[in-house]
Amino acid sequence: EGALYVVATPIGNLEDISARALRLLGEADLIAAEDTRHSARLLDHFGIRGPLMSLHEHNEASRIDTMVARIEQGQNIALISDAGTPLISDPGYRLVQALRERGSRVVPVPGPCALVTALSAAGLPSQPFTFRGFVSAKAQARLEELERSVRSVGTQIFYESPHRIRAFLEALESLVPERRVVLARELTKTFETFLDGTPPELLARIEEDPNQARGEFVVLVEGAPALEGQQEHVDIEAEALLEALQAEGV
């Protein structure tokens, strides 16, 4: 029996590919890639010529049986996505789940991941943290998701596209205008920047320098103060007690 190797690839800087990733990609009987044309360029750069098969959101379910059969026949398949670690806001979960259920071998080959890269250098508490991935592209749903998220204790981590970064910050501004937010942009690339400030401060920065709204983003939002939730609870209880005492005429 073969195995599925879940292989992380660079999120920008090609030097970030691991020696193990290169060896396993070179040895694989098949490389399953989100976008075969995009991955062909990456593999070409490293002189790897394994056969490619597409595996994306829309065909993942229908490809599972083929992949499982190939692995049962002894083939080794490498799964890669366009950038970073597969399954992290990328396809692959259903395939991995199906293989695990059958007791097949699934081997992680770790490497770049934008959320971990951002968290490791943002200067916000790195524990606990919650990874939220992409929030909805629809304004109302996005606001509701963010509203729930900013009530959590611990750093909240989001992925966002350049088209929606302003709308995202505006939503945050309406919910938590004083919270610290870090925009981690173009990680590992030439124009890597970390912008740190409150939502209105960051919106002003983008306004004065529109280049700051270009490229790829991880947004990190400071968590809710640990005691805020509990303090509110204590206040409500104290108030209820006071009212009860007053009603008793104490």
Asked if 144 touches ligand SAM (CB under 6 A), the answer is no
Q: Which is nearer to ligand SAM, 75 or 188 (CB)?
A: 188
**Which of 59, 161, 174, 231 is the binder for ligand SAM (CB under 6 A)?**
161
In the complex, minimum distance from the CB of residue 171 to ligand SAM, in angstroms, rounded to a whole number = 16
According to CB under 6 A, which one of 33, 50, 217, 221 is a site residue for ligand SAM? 217
- Residue 193 binds ligand SAM (CB under 6 A): no
Give the integer Cα–Cα distance in Å for 129 and 10. 23
Task: State the nearest-atom distance from the C-beta of 185 to ligand SAM, in Å.
Answer: 6
Q: Which member of 78, 181, 218, 220 binds ligand SAM (CB under 6 A)?
A: 218
Cα-to-chain-centroid distance, residue 48? 27
89 binding ligand SAM? (CB under 6 A): yes
Contact pick of 83, 99, 165, 182 for ligand SAM (by CB under 6 A): 83
* Using rule CB under 6 A, residue 92 touches ligand SAM: no
Return the H-helix or E-strand segment holding 116. Answer: helix 114-119
* Interacting span for ligand SAM (CB under 6 A) from 168-176, 179-187, 221-229, 234-242: 179-187
What is the bridge-based pairing of β-strands 76-80 and 181-185? unpaired
Per CB under 6 A, the segment of 54-62, 185-193, 195-203, 206-214 that binds ligand SAM is 185-193
> Own/partner pairs for 141-146, CB < 8 Å, 24+ apart?
142/167, 142/168, 142/171, 143/171, 143/174, 143/175, 146/171, 146/172, 146/175
Strand order, beta sheet including 193-197: 129-134, 155-160, 217-221, 181-185, 193-197
Nearest alpha carbon to residue 180 among 206, 147, 202, 148: 202
Distance CA 250, CA 248 (A): 6
What's the rounded Cα separation, in Å, for the pair 60 and 70?
15
Part in contact with ligand SAM (CB under 6 A); list of ranges 44-52, 67-75, 109-117, 148-156: 109-117
Q: Please give the span between the terminal C-alpha atoms of the chain, in angstroms, as a whole number.
A: 77
Considering only 5, 129, 159, 168, the residue that binds ligand SAM (CB under 6 A) is 159
Whose Cβ is closer to ligand SAM: residue 138's or residue 163's? Answer: 163
Print the SS3 string covering 169-206.
HHHHHHHCCCCCEEEEECCCCCCCEEEEECHHHHHHHH
Region of 60-68, 78-86, 91-99, 201-209 interacting with ligand SAM (CB under 6 A):
78-86
The answer to the question of residue 85 lying near ligand SAM (CB under 6 A) is yes
Site for ligand SAM, rule CB under 6 A: 11-12, 81, 83-85, 88-90, 113-115, 159-161, 184, 186-189, 216-218
